[in-house]
Amino acid sequence: MRIIGGKYRGKKLFSPQSENVRPTSDKAREALFNILRNRLGANFSEYKLLDIFSGSGAVGLEAISQGFAKVALVDIDIKDLQKNVKLFENDKAKINVVKTDATKPLPLDERFDVLFMDAPYNKGLSEKALLNAMEYLNNGALCLVELEKNEICNFPEKYHVSDERRYGIAKVVIAEFIL
């Protein structure tokens, strides 16, 4: 695993030691950030990203590399995540690691402009976490939810789905959060 763009391009990340962590591939991450550039523009410096079920932290750390103002990385097991966050010492003030169950209220005191979520596949966790995340999203927040390609996720009412992209065994559902 490596950072694919921005100021840390090429930086190697620690691969997860846990079998429960399934990192978003470099190719899928590149596609995600192309979607973000297309929807938000090339300058990410005003945006904050909430990365739920962050696993190794690859997506959130990619966001830091590509210029996001701040990221919150949420996962119940942060062992692999913490190793990768230590590689970004110069940007540690922009990274908030939160060890918690993403289906329960998060200990956050701010709102975010972008949500990325990659829950364990086919366990029904995405719907619960989406309901919980509403409290932490700005109106108009762009939401990218990775699911197994055949997984069905019923998005809560305030999420307006606009697109879906497939990447191998995964699909990414793109939605906007509207209050």
Considering the domain boundaries, does residue 168 fall inside one?
Answer: yes
Q: Parallel, antiparallel, or unpaired: how do β-strands 112-117 and 95-99 relate?
A: unpaired
Contact (CB, 8 A) for 60 and 54: yes
Kindly give, in sequence order, each residue whose CB lies less than 8 Å from that of residue 124, ignoring residues fewer than 6 positions away. Answer: none
| Residue 34 within any structural domain of the chain | yes
Q: Is 106 inside a domain boundary?
A: yes
State the total domains in the chain.
Answer: 1
167: enclosing H helix or E strand: strand 159-167
* DSSP E strand stretches across 57-126: 70-75, 95-99, 112-117
Name beta bridge partners: 137. Answer: 112
pLDDT tens digits along 73-95: 999 999 989 999 999 999 999 99
- Residue-wise pLDDT for 3-41, tens only, equals 999 999 999 998 876 555 555 667 778 888 999 999 999
Give long-range contacts, CB 8 A cutoff, 24+ apart: 150-154: 151/121, 151/122, 151/126, 153/126, 153/127, 154/127
Given a cut of 80, is residue 140 above it in pLDDT? Answer: yes
Q: Is residue 46 part of a domain?
A: yes
Q: Is residue 1, in this structure, part of any structural domain at all?
A: no
pTM across the whole model: 0.93
Query: What's the distance, CA 93 to chain centroid?
Result: 18
Q: Is residue 101 part of a domain?
A: yes
Contacts 24+ apart (CB under 8 A), 104-109: 104/132, 105/132, 105/135, 106/72, 106/74, 106/132, 106/133, 106/135, 106/136, 108/50, 108/72, 108/136
Range of the domain at 147: 6-177
Mean pLDDT for 160-177 is 92
Per-residue DSSP letter, 28:
H
Instruction: Return d(Cα 148, Cα 167) in angstroms, integer.
Output: 10
- What pLDDT shows up at residue 27? 75
**What's 12's domain CATH number?**
3.40.50.150
